[in-house]
Amino acid sequence: MSKLIVANWKMYLSPKDSVELFGAVAKKSKTVICSSFIALNQLSALAKKSGIGLGAQDCFWDNRGAYTGEVSPLDLKDLGCEYVIVGHSERRNYFKETDKMVGKKVKAALVAGLTPILCVGENESERKKGKASARVEEQLEYALDGLGKKLRAEQWIIIAYEPVWAIGTGNACDPETAVKMHQMIKEKIAKLISVKNVRVLYGGSVDDKNIASYLKNTEIDGALVGGASTKKDVFMSLLAVAAKF
């Protein structure tokens, strides 16, 4: 199975910039692009032609209701999205999303027919105290426990291990530590759900210079790339490296 590259463009690109970069990526590689909400409509038609997977950066846990400013997972599906990021550390930090809220979003995404890209990871304090594994296990339990009948045999769940202390800092997690965390995550997942369609990606200051050090490990199924995926030359170089694995 080839490695999966997911690009999280965050709020870096305008709709125009998104279309231009999407066009460049479409000529080079198959991947998943998670753009801002306001660019999704324009990218939807391009995604259908290119074969690139289209994803959103968040969704709400209900399809309809009085939730000002939120976006329905069902509407994302209707728009052409196949994926949605949930539980990113920036959502947990800036918008105070709890593990319980993230768990509700995972389930809502699956019901809507979207593949959730669940972000988990420990902060610097938790790692220094030796609580990294415990914290990630806790996040997985809230998000995955009790899925039961909500999962169909053909559905996938993607987990992105993103140590919070590495995101956007340029201080990427060393590959050996990342591999150990991926092994632990896969062991924990096997205890929580019965489906086999799970991929675990690494994220956190990934770029074209260090991507190979992660992808060469069989335990790491791909990467969730943030800022580096918004820079055309860097992202094209990164995708070229990833294509070798």
Q: List the end-to-end C-alpha distance of the chain, in Å, as a whole number.
A: 9
CB atoms within 10 A of CB 217: 16
Cross-strand bridge partners of residue 33? 7, 54
Q: Has 182 been annotated as catalytic?
A: no
Contacts of 181 (CB under 8 A, 6+ apart): 132, 133, 136, 161, 163, 173
Q: Judge whether 20 counts as a catalytic residue.
A: no
Q: Which two tokens stand for residue 94?
A: 């800036």
Among 90, 126, 162, 182, the active-site one is: 162
Q: E strands of the chain, at which residues? A: 4-8, 32-34, 53-56, 83-86, 115-120, 157-161, 198-203, 222-225
Please work out, in degrees rounded to the nearest 5, the angle formed at the alpha carbon of residue 63 by the alpha carbons of 62 and 66. 75
Q: Which of 88, 97, 126, 182 is catalytic?
A: 88
Q: Given the structure tokens 């690139």, which residue do they identify?
A: 52
CA 211 to chain centre: 16
Residues labelled as active-site residues: 88, 162
